[in-house]
Amino acid sequence: MKYLIIYYYLLLNLSSAAQPIPAHDPVLIKQDSVYYMFCTGQGITEWSSVNMVDWKKEPPVFAQPPAWVMKELPAFKGHTWAPDMSFHNGQYYLYYAVSAFGKNTSCIGVATNKTLHPGARDFHWEDRGKLVQSVPNRDDWNAIDPNLFVDDNDSAWLTFGSFWSGIKLVKLNNDLVSLAHPEEWYNLANRRDSGTTAIEAPFLFKKGKYYYLFVSVDYCCRGLKSTYKVLVGRSEKVTGPYIDKNNVPMMKGGGSLVAAGDTTNWVAIGHNSVYTFDGKDYIVYHGYDAKDNGKSKLIIRELGWDANGWPKMSELR
């Protein structure tokens, strides 16, 4: 009887662990023994876990939109997009985007915190204001989907972009909350040579001698009609040029496939991030569940590398 009870306990836990939680544009970070996942949502949605399988919902980052957001976007309702999280200079940096869907009336902001543990005495999100803004009829780019990257020379860069003229890179000051001067801007990827502008969600990751630029292409946010997928290119310089497996520049519509929907389990997948935890590399993204009316859910998989140094998918979690 004792072993039967244990068996059913394990079965129930495995069954619950196999159910992905709701998520859109997920990013991860680990503090001590706890993983924190942030994603698009009202005030930025947050979850915590000790094993990347069982997740607990945490309060949103922003109970109310920052004052500067309401000034720049008076109609903003609090649905904050595409967070990016990292730890530098002894504190956590959270980059996020606010915008109107399908328009480049967009801003990227940043907030900082000394700890991610909600119960800690010094837990407090301090919003540091607007970092980058795109304005319709002025800018042919879109200030959303930020990703911070610090290179081997300790230079800080912010990559971002969605549709329009594609993926951008701009250098930051060492404070990580302001643009470097004189300003340095670079174009990393677009798909205009492929007859579309559907590219977004850049994420930079260093492995060996290469900088890898992951992007999402085609269309998200359409439930069962979504066509999202993840592509990658690489460069020996953070500023590019990024080239795919077939030596096609990402500025010319290139990009090698990393992950796509299989139509059986996931209609489409995208908006990824990549991390190294405890000596293993992981790729994190959201997928549109083919068996649940295309609802957006969290997927975490181990990321392997082939003999030529290109990423390949591994274990599903």
Using alpha carbons only, how large is the chain's radius of gyration in Å? 19
The 8-class DSSP code of residue 84 comes to E
Alpha-helical runs (H) found in the chain: 2-17, 67-72
Active site includes 200? yes
Cβ atoms within 10 A of the Cβ of 36, count? 20
Contacts for 167-172: CB closer than 8 Å, 24+ residues apart: 167/199, 167/200, 167/202, 167/213, 167/215, 167/250, 168/141, 169/238, 169/239, 169/240, 170/132, 172/148
Looking at 84, 200, 218, 244, which residue is catalytic? 200
For tokens 């930079």, the residue is 204
Looking at 25, 46, 145, 289, which residue is catalytic? 25
The first and second tokens of residue 37, run together, are: 């996942």
CA 145 – CA 155 distance, rounded (Å): 20
CA 230 – CA 200 distance, rounded (Å): 10
Strands (E), 161-198: 167-172, 185-189
Active site residues: 25, 200
